[in-house]
Amino acid sequence: MSAFLFVTPTWDGDQWANEMKKALPRHDIRKWPAIGETADVRYAAAWLPPPNVLRELPNLKVIFSLGAGVDAILSDPTLPDNIPIVRVNSPDLTMRMSEHIVMHVLMHHRQQARILANQRNKTWDSFPQHAASALRVGVMGLGVLGEDAAKKLAMLGFQVAGWSRSRKSIYGVQSFAGAEELDAFLTRTDILVCLLPATAETDGLINRAVIKKLAHNGPLGAPVLINAGRGRQQVEADILAALESGELLAVSLDVFGKEPLPNDSPFWSHPRVYLTPHSAADSEPSVICTYVAQAITQFEKTGQLDNLVDRTRGY
Ligand code: NAP
Ligand code: GLV
């Protein structure tokens, strides 16, 4: 008996379990806390696993993340250290994220909030609009998601740069690398897009000092922030203060320090905040279960795993 176990206490797992049964018909699909015989479990998918659950699976071979980020797995202090972790790298998820980023860049660039307000007020105001080529977009994180979004923005004509740990060579995208090039990246950026993983190094990175370094001489008059990485990366009080002081024109936030966002958060009603409920790039169960099943088939045939997480980097 080989079992696949979902350890996803904060998710409604029924749809996932049903899709995984279709994708992995020869495995017994189980859902924590109904683990059954622990020795049967060869594979697990985890998101915020309770302590010791994964550690106590003696024959566990691979841990799967059901999303691109793995912070919700690495946060388990009892995570067994010798088990490989595979994360999602799927064209479906990547396309969803690029749609979200392109849509929000365009909404700020084309001043969609102003257009909607004019419509509500029955105001015929065809104000001047600048070209995409006048705007400098900076994408923090040029991994699977950041690279795709950056390329699509470059195709639309924006001046695009990216910031990552290592140097990149992406057609149409200027590369900035490492902490020493962060300031140069920020000072040339009108719209800052964050697609970084949550790690000790990126926690709190989007703070008042970083916001102050963004370009303030662009066509929008003040910079814009779009964060679809993780809430841990943003200092929310600093973002609100920067919106008030004019250091930020507007923000699009998909991720928050506390999710769901509490009812009393000022972000809900702020007129210059575009808010989405961590839905920039959903993991579609049928797509991700097929992806996981293909990874298991390859692993059982060849011993090879792709899209492995480097635990020392934290992503
Ligand atoms: P990825 O392929 O692992 O790419 C991560 C990128 O971040 C890489 O370019 C990496 O640089 C860069 N990076 C990491 N630490 C850095 C640091 N300290 N300084 C500078 N650059 C750093 O990840 P991905 O698949 O693109 O996903 C990125 C993140 O998006 C996920 O971790 C998750 O948090 C978030 N996400 C959000 C949603 C949503 O719905 N809101 C959905 C999916 C994912 P190198 O290339 O040099 O290593
Ligand atoms: C979602 O947030 C993901 O990491 O895929």
pLDDT at 252 over 90: yes
Identify which of 245, 246, 248, 267 has the alpha carbon closest to the alpha carbon of residue 256: 267
Q: Which CATH architecture has domain 92-275?
A: 3-Layer(aba) Sandwich (3.40)
- Mean pLDDT for 49-54 is 97
Determine the CATH number of domain 3-90+283-302.
3.40.50.720
Residue nearest to atom 17 of ligand 1 (CA): 165
Map out the domains of the chain as residue ranges: 3-90+283-302, 92-275
Amino acid 1: pLDDT: 86
Cβ 198 under 6 angstroms from ligand 2: no
Q: Which of 165, 230, 232, 270 is catalytic?
A: 230
Q: Is the pLDDT of residue 214 over 90?
A: yes
Indicate whether residue 197 lines ligand 2 (CB < 6 A): no
| Cβ atoms within 10 Å, residue 294 | 12
The 173-177 sheet, strands edge to edge: 173-177, 159-164, 136-140, 191-194, 224-227, 250-253, 273-275
**Does the active-site annotation cover 188?**
no
How confident is the model at residue 135, as a pLDDT? 98
**Mean of all residue pLDDT scores within the chain:** 97
Looking at per-residue pLDDT, the higher value among 12 and 178 belongs to 178
How many angstroms is it from 255 CA to the middle of ligand 1? 14
Pick the more confident residue, 154 or 12: 154
Matching fold, domains 3-90+283-302 and 92-275: yes
Q: Is the shortest distance between the CB of 141 and ligand 2 below 6 Å? A: no
Calculate mean pLDDT across residues 10-14.
86
Q: Is 68 in the pocket of ligand 2 (CB under 6 A)?
A: yes
Question: Of all residues in the chain, what percent carry a pLDDT higher than 70?
Answer: 100
Can you tell me the mean pLDDT for 187-215? Answer: 98
Q: Give catalytic status of residue 130 as yes or no.
A: no
Alpha carbon of 300 to those of 22, 42, 109, 303: distances in Å?
A: 18, 11, 48, 6
Band (pLDDT 50/70/90 cuts) for residue 94 is very high
pLDDT at 11: 87
Query: Whole-model pTM?
Result: 0.98
The pLDDT value recorded for residue 33 is: 96
Alpha-helical segments (H) within the chain? 14-23, 71-74, 91-109, 112-120, 144-155, 182-187, 208-213, 236-245, 285-302
Mean pLDDT across 88-100: 98
C-alpha to C-alpha distance for 139 and 160, rounded to whole angstroms: 8
- Does residue 154 register a pLDDT over 90? yes
